[in-house]
Amino acid sequence: MMNWSEILRLHKKADEHSVLLTVAATQGSTPRETGASMLVTNDSVHGTIGGGELEYRAIAKAKEVLCSEKPMAQLLDMPLGPELAQCCGGTVRLLVSPLQRSDQIWMEALCQNMDNKVLVTNWADRSLTRDVVTYTAGTQMPHAALIEQCLTEHRSKIVTADDEAFTLIEPASPFRFHLTLFGAGHVGKAIVNALSPLPCKIDWVDERAEMFTSNLPANVKPIVVNDPSTAVLDMPKNGHCLILTHSHQQDLEICAKVLKRTDAGFVGLIGSDTKRAKFERRLKLRGVDEASLLALVCPIGITDLRGKAPAEIAISVCAELLIYQQKMEDKNMGTSNERKTLFGSKSRKG
């Protein structure tokens, strides 16, 4: 998903004169999904719709629209075959829409309190309209079920009327998931470096203020508290958690509080099988039941990647977390017990 706040900023920077390219629909194998977007201005390009000849021609079309005296929205069907020298084999339906000064109104509305908001784009009779919709459960509105799915799964949804008309529903928030990361050591830093370019929010918790750099990415929030375990209270429902502090005792305190919540997503603890066994005994003494212990992933990381350098561990752990997130989205799993079965037993020594 594109970051609408960033689109608005870049559009203003371009003197309210830019073109938004959006994958409105796909058929077959394509390099990007429905809702993927990029912004084209006179002197810059932001985002991607998949690269290759498809993107090259799309940018050329956007530049052509920018130079037009009367820029008009267009809908293009682009087969990814011999004509584009791409062998994906699918088809991308691309919406080419010029953004003017008046478009700031809906963009600013979209960027305020993004939770439960979607952008509804309608294309009919070669005419484009956009509406910002705030969803409230139980409220009667057009496409209510699809809007709810869009917000729950954080995926754009398409309503196809015919070959010449469609409705695209996109979530306002660019963030697919929330991660609370406990520990600002070498591995913590490597994980932030790996995840921060992705559509997620990261709350980074440590009691040592000096461990955080001053130029953190915009989606990373440093939290300095004397007792990091208190940050567990602020974790959102279904938010993910990685525990890798400099103290085993601190790890234990955080684990106990997270597992007692029973509504977290991925709960990962750095360590070995031995550490897990010791923690399980101690967590039971703290009142954590067997079912909740199943939600704890320890050791963390993909088992086939056994490197122990911080960057290698980070790649392994982030890949595991992203696989987990994808499966949660695909299967819309609910309970902690069900979520644990996504990976089953595994071992990472160290």
Asked if 110 and 117 count as a contact pair (C-beta separation under 8 A), the reply is yes
Buried b (16+ CB within 10 A) or exposed e, 114-132: bebbbbbbbbeeeebebeb
Selection from 179, 181, 173 nearest residue 205 by Cα: 181
Distance of CA 76 to CAs 70, 156, 160, 180, Å?
A: 18, 19, 15, 41
β-strand partners of 168:
121, 158
Domain ranges for the chain: 4-171, 177-340
DSSP state of 168: E
Asked if 228 and 254 count as a contact pair (C-beta separation under 8 A), the reply is yes
At 142 the pLDDT is 85
What is the rounded distance in angstroms from the CA atom of residue 248 to the CA atom of residue 270? 10
**Amino acid (1-letter code) at residue 9:** R
DSSP state of 102: G
Residues 6+ apart with CB under 8 A from 248: 275
β-strand partners of 191:
none
At 87 the pLDDT is 64
| 277: helix, strand or coil | helix
Q: Which CATH architecture has domain 177-340?
A: 3-Layer(aba) Sandwich (3.40)
What is the rounded distance in angstroms from the CA atom of residue 133 to the CA atom of residue 119? 6
What is the rounded distance in angstroms from the CA atom of residue 70 to the CA atom of residue 143? 32
At 296 the pLDDT is 95
Residues 6+ apart with CB under 8 A from 165: 122, 123, 124, 125
Asked if 304 and 334 count as a contact pair (C-beta separation under 8 A), the reply is no
Distance of CA 278 to CAs 115, 234, 262, 287, Å?
A: 40, 27, 21, 15
Asked if 212 and 224 count as a contact pair (C-beta separation under 8 A), the reply is yes
| 302: helix, strand or coil | coil
**Amino acid (1-letter code) at residue 149:** Q
| 215: helix, strand or coil | coil
pTM for the complete prediction?
A: 0.77
Q: How far apart are the first and last CA of the chain?
A: 37
At 240 the pLDDT is 96
Q: Is 83 left (phi over 0), alpha (psi -120 to 50) or beta?
A: alpha
pLDDT (tens, 9 = 90+) of the chain, 350 residues, equals 568 888 888 898 888 889 999 998 888 888 888 888 999 998 889 999 888 888 999 999 999 999 988 889 988 888 886 666 666 678 888 999 999 888 989 999 999 888 889 999 998 888 899 999 998 887 888 888 888 888 888 888 888 767 778 899 999 988 889 999 999 999 999 999 999 999 899 999 999 999 998 889 989 999 999 999 999 999 998 899 999 999 999 999 999 999 999 899 999 999 999 999 999 999 999 999 999 999 999 999 998 888 899 999 999 999 999 999 988 877 653 433 443 434 444 443 33
